[in-house]
Amino acid sequence: MEKLQKTLEEWRAMLDPEQYNVCRLKGTERPFSGKYNDTKTDGVYHCICCNEPLFDSQTKFDSGCGWPSFYAPIEGSAVVEVRDVSHGMIRTEVVCAKCDAHLGHVFPDGPPPTGLRYCINSVCLDLVPRG
């Protein structure tokens, strides 16, 4: 996959302030505030920065954590996992494989079949309904 690269100024011009803060500066939205937290619409979630397909709604589940949760990305190469040691914790950050947008984190407490919980900020996503 060819990487999409832009300067921070280019990202700032194309994203709204919250999208820029989360996707480019590794911020987070408040729990239970994101537009996709409770969404049940069938479709595919794309990266807000580059439109790359990231997660299928069929892998979405209600984890109760306050952010949209998925047990798997749409395909193995859609996201990249990066060690995150910020904020005095050791976590695994999830970024878009195409544009390196910060999406959220993955945790080993999800449902079968993967046992993973991809905890993703709504502001990073654009849901394209199926059909």
47 in a labelled binding site:
yes
Neighbours of 36 (CB within 10 A): 21
Return the closest-CA partner of residue 118 out of 129, 104, 131, 98. 104
Q: What are phi and psi of 12, to 5 degrees?
A: -60, -35
96 in a labelled binding site:
yes
50 in a labelled binding site:
yes
Q: Is there a contact between 27 and 20 (Cβ–Cβ < 8 Å)?
A: no
Given the residues 23, 49, 65, 119, the one annotated as active site: 119
Residues 6+ apart with CB under 8 A from 50: 4, 96, 98, 99, 101
Rounded Cα gap, residues 101 and 54, in angstroms: 11
65 in a labelled binding site:
no
3-state secondary structure of 29: coil
Task: Respond yes or no: is residue 23 known to be catalytic.
Answer: no
Catalytic residues: 119
Q: Tell me the binding residues for Zn(2+).
A: 47, 50, 96, 99
Residues belonging to the binding site are: 47, 50, 96, 99
